[in-house]
Structure formats: C-alpha cells, structure tokens
Amino acid sequence: MPDIIQLLPDSIANQIAAGEVVQRPASAVKELIENAIDAGATNIKLIVKEAGKTLIQVIDNGQGMSETDARMSLERHATSKIRTADDLFRLRTMGFRGEALASIAAVSQMEMKTRLPQDDLGTLLVVEGSEVKKQEPVASEKGTSISIKNLFYNIPARRNFLKSNGVEMSHIADEFQRLALAHPHISFILLQSDELIHDLPAGKLSQRIVNLFGKNYQSQLAPVQEETSLLKITGYIGRPELARKKRGEQFIFVNQRFIRNNYLGYAITSAYEGLLQENSFPFYALFIDIDPKHIDVNVHPTKTEIKFDDERAVYGVVWSAVKQALGAHNLAPAIDFAADVNLMGKLNSEPLSREQYYDEQFSNSLQRSNLQNWEKIFEQEGSTSRLFDRSETLPKTTMRIESSINKEETSIDQGYEKSFFQFQQKYIVRSSRGGVMFIDQQAAHERILFEKYVSQLKGTPGNSQQSLFPQALTLNAPDFALAMEMEREIYSLGFRFEVFGKNTLLVSGTPAEITGGEKELFEGLIEQFKKNQSELQLPLRENLSHALAKRAAIKSGQKLSTEEMESLTGRLFACATPSFTPEGKPTFFILDSSKIESYFTH
C-alpha cells in the first residue's frame, strides 16, 4: 500500500496558519501595530483603504530590522523572543515581527521597508502569497513600514466572507482604540482613505481617554489605584452619570493586553451596586499588572481570553479597588435618580398613547383580512388554523402553541367574556373559545414594529417627526463609519440627520411613532445593530428593523389601558407572522380549557 501522508508545501501551510491569525482586516491591523509597539516605536501611523480590503499600512519609528532579520521575519515560527519553553511563561510583549508576518504574507501582497538607526540604507521586500518577488536596498526612514495590499486576493472564498466596509472598519477602529488606550505614551494616527480619523498625541491615560471618546469624559473620570502582593490595578472608572445603555466602552487590560473576562466585568459592575439605573453599563479602563506565571494566555487563539490561577483573589481585588475609587471620589452623591440620566430609559417608562397604536397598520386591507381571521378564534365554529394562512408553519416541537386553537370544535361558547386585562404589567390576558390567551406585550410590539420597519425599508420611507431643537451626537469612529454606511436605510426608518463635524451627526428627526431623545434613540439603534450582528447574523435590512423594534417596543412593566391592549392584540394578529418575535421567541400562548379543568378534577 503506498504512503498517503505527506508534508504540506510551505505556501499552503502558511495559508492554513493565516486562518488562525488573520480572520479579517482588523486581525492584520492588530498584529502589525503590536509588532511596531514591541519594536520600541514612539510614533505609529495606520493607513487603511476600503476598510483594509485594498490597503493596510502601518508605519513606525521603531528600531527597524537588518536585511537578514527582515527576511527571517517571513519564515514560519520565526521569533525574536522565545529561546526555551520556559520563555512562554514569562512573556510580557505583544509579538515581534516573525510570529504573524509569515501568515499575513501568505494571503496578501506585502511590501516591507525597514532600516536600523545606524544604517544608511534600509531593505525593501516585496512578497506575494509567501513568495519573495523582490529584495533590494532602499532609502527609507528609520523604523519599519509594512503595506498589506489586496488581503485574501489568493483565497476568494475567504474574501467573500468579509462584511461591508462599514462593519470591517468598525472592527479595525475597535482594535486601534484598544491598542491606543493600552499605550498612551505612544502617539497614534489613523487615516481612512486620506481622511484623518484619530490624531492622538503621546500623553497620560486620562488625556488618551478624552481624545478617543470626547471631552464630556474630562470631568467624569475617577482614578483607580490598588496594589497587593498578587497584582497591581490602575486606570479610570466613569461616574455613574456616564453609564450608557451599551457595553462598548469597557476595557480590561492584563499586562497591557486587552482581554475579555465576564467574571471581572461582573466584579466591576457589582461595585456600582445601587448607583446605576437598570440595564446601564459604566465606563472603565482598568489595567491589571500581574506576574505572567499566574495567568494562561493560550486559552483562546487571539489571546483575548485568559485564565488566572486564582480567579477569586483577582475578583476580590478588582471589586475592592473600584468600590474604593467610588467612595474616595464621592461619586455616589452626584447621582440624581429623579433625573433621567439616560433618555433611552424613556422608551421603557412612557406609555404609548392610543393614537400611537392606531396607525397606518389598519389602513392596509391585507392586514385587516388577517385581523378578521384572528377574530375567528373567538367568534367562529370549526378549525381556526386558517388564522395562520399567511404566517410560517409552526414547528411541531413548539408545545406551548398546541391547544384547542388548532383543533376542530363542535360547539361555540357564546357567553365568553371579551374584556382584556393586564397581568403583572407584562402580559395581556384575554379569554378565548378554547381557553385563555396570554400575550407578551413587549414581544408582540417587537413583532409589530419589525414587520412595519421591514416594509418601510423595502418601499416607502417611514414618516419622521422633526425636532424643534436638533441634537448633535458624537460617535466613536467605528460607529460613525457604520452609520454613514447605512445612511439610506436609517433614513427609510424615519431618522433625519446630517454630518456636523468630525464623527458628529446632527439628528433632527426620529420615526414618527417613537418617543424619546433623538441622540439616545439613534445611539441605541447603532448599538443594538452591532449586538444583533454578532449574535444573530441577520441581513442588513432585517438587522436594522429588528434593532429599532427592540429599542422602540413597549417594555414589560408598562401599564396599558384597555384600548391599548385591544389595539396591540389586533395589530399583532394583523402581522404576517404573529406567533414569534424576530428572534424566534413566542409572542403568545393559549392555556387550554381542558388543562384548566384538570386542576379541578380528582
């Protein structure tokens, strides 16, 4: 039998390795900037075009490389740091040249210029798909400039999986922000298609935070300082008033490397107990310095998840440090719970008027027809499964939907009570011929609004209510890029806005039927869109519709009048798919009369 196992060619092995190192343009950005940091750079410039799909260039003034090192950096498993296995447990640096360059060069057209400070000439390397096309001396500045062109040009399938420019640019900006926060002593510049997005001078961490996220952070930060025999914590937390309805601006760094750790995140938010409104998230940028022997950084390929050998001890120190900072800087008394510190809360607390319920949904004859079908639950004899003629077939495994609504009837109870009532300010309850119907008011309204917004995005734009006092909204760079990418679709939903400066929009209108602050609603839409994108993988139109429906729907705990309950129920069953929310959760179920009777029989 012939041998069937063989070694892969280096070019293919590098492409496979690239699959772990370079998932998208942002991955290459992270690796190249980390290389520049470890090279001792004090100035780093990042230039991207078409969200990194056509060009990623990182220019630094670090120590540079010799001709031999430049060539070696493109070899697999080349490194400047590791000599023995024990070195793996003592690393404090990010990565130096060789660990990632070979993988990036395998899936791009790369050009590298590098020069040592003491040399008169530098080295130029041109590489395409791991193959060195050119190597020659060149006049260049001290340090290194690496250009990545046409990422994944030789792997079309991988390139096709990249998202829109707005989404990819958002990921790049996130990586840039994290690295810039972790190294405030280094100046950073970010250029997107010749437009200056960030120009961050070297300085203190507090200045870096303000330069990245806006001047409103200037008076809202409190320093955190704690040192024990196990670890040292420094950084800043935000006043409770600065808390937002999104988690985006929360950063934990371990040995200057950004990490994700829900356990530590919970420790921080627990320290704010009693100081935050519900579903609000505080700002924090905390740096944990700990001996590398106490952590395992190889839990996740991107090293954003790590494991501590004593998580409980780390949790306790983090909680104590944040609690102490809140007390020492007298942040608690600054809170005024009578004021609405985040106007998105208005969407949760202000009841919708009756007029807001009765909108154009009822002017559509097709929806009226569906509404009439729904009424057959209560008024007609025979199978009521025709009610769902326009909806999707219910899964057979959805047992809660099974009831007499789907069974043949032999008689009609003409004396049932048609009134509605609200249970726990969460469910709308209505008796039906087959039993008792429970409708989740929030889930039902999400379904109604979702179908309405999908319709608007496919056809006529929705109506907008204009504000007497338009509000300026400053977004971070990735969110601004995402908003501009979806400008036409957001307009169709009923928002009105225009560019009002760097990363700033002037919001002058919101969808007509929604109450609440323009800034908060727009910002909430972007945040919910990103959350959906990571969790649900929806097409753009459905994602936007779902995001706005989620933010604008009435919430559990909101009291409704009888007319509002009746209207909401009618509009739900006028939908094409009334049975489920856009996420697939049930909007209602019917407690079968036979089930009720079983509790009273012996």
Q: What is the pLDDT of residue 227?
A: 92
State pLDDT tens for residues 422-453.
Answer: 888 889 998 877 788 899 999 999 899 888 88
Q: What is the pLDDT of residue 409?
A: 38
Nearest Cα residue to 523 out of 466, 468, 480 = 480
Query: In which residue ranges of the chain is pLDDT below 70?
Result: 1-2, 6-21, 76-99, 298-303, 330-418, 515-516, 536-537, 602
CATH class of 342-602: alpha beta
CATH class of 207-335: alpha beta
State pLDDT tens for residues 106-116.
Answer: 889 999 999 99
Q: What is the pLDDT of residue 304?
A: 72
Domain boundaries, the chain: 10-203, 207-335, 342-602
Q: What is the pLDDT of residue 381?
A: 35
The CA–CA distances, whole Å, from 530 to 42, 83, 115, 524 equal 33, 42, 41, 10
The CA–CA distances, whole Å, from 108 to 56, 74, 149, 275, 572 equal 10, 13, 6, 50, 51
CATH T-level topology, domain 10-203: Heat Shock Protein 90 (3.30.565)
CB 252 within 8 A of CB 304: no
Q: What is the pLDDT of residue 384?
A: 33
Q: What is the pLDDT of residue 337?
A: 32
CB 515 within 8 A of CB 345: no
Nearest Cα residue to 335 out of 326, 324, 344 = 326
The partner residues of 471 in beta bridges, in order of sequence, read: 507
Residue 342 DSSP label: S
DSSP string, 140-161: --SEEEEEEESTTTT-HHHHHT
CB 553 within 8 A of CB 446: yes
